[in-house]
Amino acid sequence: MPDNKASRSGEWLKQAEADLRKAKILLDNKEYDGSVFYSHQACEKAFKAMWIVIKSEIPPGHSLIFFAKGINYPNDKMSGVRDLNPEYLITRYPDMAQGVPAEIYDEQIASKHYDSAKGALEWVKTKLK
């Protein structure tokens, strides 16, 4: 019988990879708010994949900081996670962004967040090997 924990973790990791691909496509097409949102999603799902392996449960919520601490993500990489953390809401809601989310992001911001998410996903993949 297959290991259910490994199977569930693998599903989350696959979706994290798909979300990172979407973030890159949107970044390349100058849809920066969407890229940032999918960068957050990729990071979140990668962290949840690791969490499942460590704690045998899917953690609730969307806090990258909470997830990172729970999986012992390296402190030297936490800066990018802290910056990406609030984007789950800011990228989607004008009241959270204090303006139109599609108008507040640029290539520099989106690239920074993409790189943070990519680094998180690569770290998780290395740990799960």
Report pLDDT for 3. Answer: 65
Report pLDDT for 71. Answer: 98
| pLDDT less than 50: residues of the chain | 1-2
Decide: helix, strand or coil at residue 36: helix
Judge if pTM exceeds 0.75. Answer: yes
Per-residue H/E/C for 92-126: CCHHHHCCCHHHHCCHHHHHHHHHHHHHHHHHHHH
Of 15, 13, 35, which Cα lies nearest the Cα of 84?
Answer: 35
Domains observed in the chain: 4-128 (1.20.120.330)
Report pLDDT for 5. Answer: 83
Which residue reads 């990519």 in tokens?
A: 118
Report pLDDT for 1. Answer: 36
